[in-house]
Structure 1
Amino acid sequence: MQLKWSEGRNGLGEIAAANLHTSISIPREMNGPGIGTNPDEMLLGAAATCYLITLAALLENSKIEVLDLSMQAEGFVDVTNGVFTYEKIVHRPSIRVQNCSERELKRIYRLAEKAEQTCMISKALKGNVQIECYVQILQA
């Protein structure tokens, strides 16, 4: 991963990796220019994509036919005495499946919980950032 930065606190930067290239800056909410992405979005994106990919793999390995898998994710930052702390991440996955039995639905909920426990990013954040997950299962 390569990073560049110009000027001081309110400068602009770039981040580049094999499959990622974008502008970076401090967000407007923190009195920055708000151009491109920022560390808060990247942390939320890392946690959300890791969770979603892990969940997809667990569902596939369990032979559960998923018609659609999507998710909303939200990060919460606390500001106390001018100090910003990433407090909580909330995942809201939506899983669309064919009509399932009650037993199969319970299994999907367990897999959604297991995905949070086994996701590499969630494990790295454990003890520092609270992660909550609210699963919605839709049946076709």
Structure 2
Amino acid sequence: MDALYTAVATANSAGREGRAATSDGRLDLVLAPPRELGGTGEGTNPEQLFAAGYASCFASAVSLVGRQQKVNTSDISITAEVSIGKDDTSFALSVVLRAELPEELDNATGRSLVEQAHQLCPYSKATRGNIPVELVVE
């Protein structure tokens, strides 16, 4: 791969309790485990960051596929639900990607766009075969 851009972020302290910041200073967050995992919930957590990144990247992939097929995707909304839980050995993630379609876009076309975007999205490529990702078209 020829890198076109590299994001650099550093997390300190205990990772889930501390700070995370990007090298350019645009992102600087307090980290805290969610209450559901015994934390204070008074900061963001890696699952939220992953969900935001995946939703954004996937929306971009849907937009690209839409442009290629001359389908207006400007009103499609992508929500990523990232869950963490225990598996046989330690912890694992799963993702549900929800695509909310505008009324004028039929379900079959929307499903096709979402499935094609899932083949193109770098986050989808990185997770494929590693964690379950469910596509939901609403």
Larger-gyration structure (1/2): 1
Gaps of 5+ in 2: 1-7
The answer to whether the 8 A contact 2:56-2:78 is kept is no
Mapped pair 1:13 → 2:15 = no
1:92 pairs with 2:98:
yes
Q: 1:9 to 1:89 in 2, by over 3 A?
A: closer
SS at match of 1:42: helix
Taking the aligned partners of 2:134 and 2:75, their CA distance within structure 1 comes to 21
- SS of 1:96's equivalent in the other structure is coil
1:25 offset after TM fit, Å? 2.6
Q: 1:50: which partner in 2?
A: 57
Contact 1:68 1:96 in 2 (8 A): yes
Amino acid across the alignment from 1:53:
S
Match of 2:132 among 115, 130, 139: 130
Paired position in structure 2 for 1:108: 110
What is the TM-score normalised by the length of structure 2?
Answer: 0.75
Distance (whole Å) between structure 2 residues aligned to residue 121 and residue 55 of structure 1: 13
Deviations 1:80-131 (A, max 9, x none): 5893221x2111111215366xxxx534321210111211011111111111
One-letter code of the match for 2:72?
A: E
Name the structure, 1 or 2, with higher relative contact order (CA <8 Å, separation 6+): 1
Contact 1:4 1:13 (C-alpha < 8 Å) held by counterparts: yes
RMSD (Å), alpha carbons: 2.7
Q: Letter of the aligned partner of 2:31 in structure 1?
A: I
Aligned residue type for 1:75 = V
Q: Distance in 2 between matches of 1:81 and 1:108?
A: 36
DSSP-derived class of the 1:40 partner: helix
Distance in 2 between the 1:66 and 1:81 partners?
Answer: 40
TM-score (norm 1): 0.74
Helix, strand or coil at the partner of 2:44: coil
Alpha-carbon distance between aligned partners in 2 of 1:17 and 1:121, rounded to the nearest angstrom: 21
Q: Structure 1, unaligned stretches of length 5 or more?
A: none
**Cα separation, partners in 2 of 1:27 and 1:113, compared to 1, 3 Å:** same
User: More strand per residue: 1 or 2?
Assistant: 1
The alpha carbon displacement at 1:30 in A equals: 2.3
Q: Aligned residues: percent identity?
A: 25
